[in-house]
Amino acid sequence: MPVAPFAAATPATTAIDSILYRDAFGTPAMRAIFADHALIARYVEVEVALARAEARCGVIPDAAAREIAAKADARTLDLDLLRRETDNVGYPILPLVHQLAAQCGEAGRWLHWGATTQDIMDTAVVLQIRDALAIVEADVAAVRTILAGLAQRHRETPMAGRTHLQHALPVTFGYKAAVWLSMFDRHAERLAQLRPRVLVGQFGGAAGTLASLGDRGLEVQQALVEELGLAAPVATWHVARDGFGETVNLLALVTGSLGKVAYDIMLLSSTEFGEVQEPFVPGRGASSTMPQKRNAISSELMLACSKAVQRHAGLMMDAMVQDLERATGPWHAEWLAIPDSFMLTAAALHQAKFALGGLVVDAGRMALNLGMSKGLIVAEAVMMGLAPHVGRQDAHDLVYAACRHANDTGASLADALGRQPGITAHLDPAAIRRLTDPANYLGAAPAMVDRVLQSVPRPGGGH
């Protein structure tokens, strides 16, 4: 047995970090942002920026800030010691400052001047979120481009629209893609609006009042956020967690839309529908026992990620209820929810780009399914065509009777209508054929495609 590789592997207990599942529930780019080493490096970055800011404001010696910047190095930290001391203290910043102070020698006594643990940790997470949002924004943009292409290409590709899982009225596949696209257009807008509310530094000191810095506190705060390229808070947000709550709930909205798209793809790719398929890759979606299977794996993963992020969104809402000037536990829940939510969102978007980018659309099967009810799907069209002659309610009752006859006998709706004197007295055979052709009852579906495509600027022009 190949024991050595297993013995050498780093233990992982979650799907996000699993050697088996990590690429299904995350991406390397997002993992690099939220990896332990990257987070610790962010802590060090904030501590160094604080020293520089305080030197700019004359709070600590300039020489000490230069020494701290030169010698504070996340790469040479004793991570095992940091882990043990963090487990003992409950937070990583005090143990981190101990090691950084030793690295910096005499200048180390000026480290962390006037700060509190949460200042460093919150600001580091904001820096992570800034980078993570850039990935999400780029992926959402890519999904929007793909969906815009699908909507344009299939603007007039008729298919059965379904409500309560039954045929309702004809739509077009382009219309369906445009509905999907409209959600992601709004998500792009939300992401842009989110940034100024969330990319805000944290520096308030022990109880958020910056009392330890006297009359220089707000000056240092401004200098710190300038060092890091963040905005300054109007008030300390140690226990005002709406920014982080909004962030994760926006991720829940994005993945919720991905879950809806995934659900549609899975249903439409079922054997009975057969209208779309995820891109074919040998072995992907295969069964260990049924050689014919081609499961919609990307859609399944998108849906799973969506459900998980929704749970984290609820956790973040719960974590907003924090006590007094410093939380006794809700803050810690964010350490679980924020990294996982970004990882799962990145994974879902990655799967969406693959599934939608190569989506196989079977227009022939759509047409076949559209005709399977033999015209019943456009019963409303007949009713509306008859209504001006007999009134809406009588038209409904006459067409309803024809539909029951068609269902009971297997006849087409056109044939059943032709057996109703109350109908043939007003509609000749040509009118019945026109009204029972699904392609003639697409409503504003193609026009809505155009409206969505033209609603926001897109690469290459209006479409």
Q: Which residues are catalytic?
A: 164, 287
CB atoms < 10 A from the CB of 411, how many? 17
* Cα–Cα nearest to 309, from 280, 363, 346: 346
- Secondary element (H or E) of residue 188: helix 173-198
Helix axes 79-89, 93-104, angle to 10 degrees: 140
* 316 close to 244: Cβ distance less than 8 angstroms: yes
Which residues lie closer than 8 Å to 368 by C-beta, 6 or more apart?
none
- Please identify which residue in the block is written with the tokens 């299977």: 293
* 397 close to 379: Cβ distance less than 8 angstroms: no
Q: Looking at residue 437, what DSSP letter applies? A: -
Rounded Cα distance between 218 and 204, Å, is 9
- Please identify which residue in the block is written with the tokens 């839309």: 257
* Cα–Cα nearest to 253, from 300, 299, 189: 189
How far is C-alpha 267 from the geometric centre of its chain's CA atoms?
A: 21
* 257 close to 187: Cβ distance less than 8 angstroms: yes
DSSP state string for 386-410: HHHHH-HHHHHHHHHHHHHHHHHH-
Residues facing 159 on adjacent strands? 171
The two structure tokens encoding residue 252: 């829940």
Tell me the C-alpha to C-alpha distance, in Å, between residue 176 and each of 72, 104, 134, 161, 436.
54, 60, 28, 9, 22
Phi first, then psi: give them for residue 461, nearest 5 degrees.
115, -160
Handedness of CA 117, 118, 120, 125 (dihedral sign): positive
Rounded Cα distance between 76 and 432, Å, is 81
- Secondary element (H or E) of residue 134: helix 117-153
Number of helices (H), then strands (E), in the chain: 19, 4
* 72 close to 100: Cβ distance less than 8 angstroms: yes
